Structure 1
Amino acid sequence: MKFRLRRRGFGKLMIVSTVAATINNFVEKAVGQTQVQKTTPMPQTSTPETMKVTLQVNGIAHNLQIEPRVTLLDALREYIGLTGSKKGCDHGQCGACTVLVNGQRINSCLTFAIMHTDATITTIEGLEQGNNLHPMQAAFIVRDAFQCGYCTPGQICSAVGLVNEGHAKSDGDIRELMSGNICRCGAYPNIVNAVRDVLEGKKDAAV
């Protein structure tokens, strides 16, 4: 009976020792990994260097010091202060950021500012002709072609670009060529009417 108790005690002792050793190894590894994580420096990400860029916007030269990755939209809004062009989806799918570059409409969120140093850029703020609204701006007001107004600057710039292109001959053409500009308020019928008014009666809408 005594031998049996001793053998059982020895077995228990071995089990306890094994468990203790396993736990100790686990703790040592965990502590070691934590110390490595604390002492290992994080890799430093390099910041793109800035560069001097001159943008011709609405007839005014703007000298900027920007990173090469700055989009035209951010340059207009954040560096020049022309906030008429709106940031919507920031993926070129809503058209709220549409501006005119050399008379052609583009999504300013999809292009870098440094790509347009030799271009003539026109935003919604630059469409006004002296003290008079641009014909397209006036047509949007007459036709009540907006509701919340967030997409309106892009809609108007896109419509002016459409007129410049000279491809729209019908309401169907207008709808197709303006399909890249989204209006969540659903003012599409009035937008088409405004663009048609300019196409039919005010050919001086081009810039």
Structure 2
Amino acid sequence: MPERKPSDHHAMPAIDPALVLAWQTAHCIARNAPAPVPDRGGWRVDTHSDKETRRWVFPRLCDGLREIAEEITAPLHYLKLAGTAEELRSALPPCWEIQPANYFMIATAAPTDTRPLPPGYTLELHRAGAFARASVIAPDGELAASGNAAKTADAFVYDRIETAPDHRRKGLGLAVMAALATANTSAATPQLLVATEDGRSLYARLGWSMLGPFATAVIPAGE
């Protein structure tokens, strides 16, 4: 049998289900969505937004995930698994479509980069209870970068860290994360995020570690 490479996703240990739930709970706060409720081995979020009717998040493959995948035939329902795309695909009927890869990541220290913003850029931080939002405004008044965060007793989650294409490579994303980090009042609270393929390498350079792949599937909307 060939030796597994360290980068082989299948060789990674399973993510602690409690950590997956902690992420999803804070993630719902960050997106102003209803709290997750237990459902057949995972957690369901009744989003009811324009882009997502409902989602299920599972810490591992189980019969409940397969059951839901067979039941659902309408678009805008999402199934998410703390596992590989191959694992998720193996549990789904053909009508489900696997989405681009994401990665579950954790950090043990807050962003420490305090480089000043480029001339003319300003940063705004809004906090409301467990929610925080940071925005970087460009000299012309456009939104150059932004991101959300949410805090619970079990996790501090970063979400939707985005920089507009015309304003990239200026350290704005890092400035957003550093601003959001000031809302985290407990150094012992795990800091979590789900990164895209592009984001994974950026966060790795900032000291984040990948806990494992995070796969998503949806039934595509009809033409």
TM interval, short-chain normalised: under 0.3
Flag the structure with higher helix content.
Answer: 1
Higher relative contact order (Cα pairs below 8 Å, separated by 6+ residues): 2
Q: What's the TM-score once normalised by structure 1's chain length?
A: 0.22
Highest CA radius of gyration, 1 or 2? 1
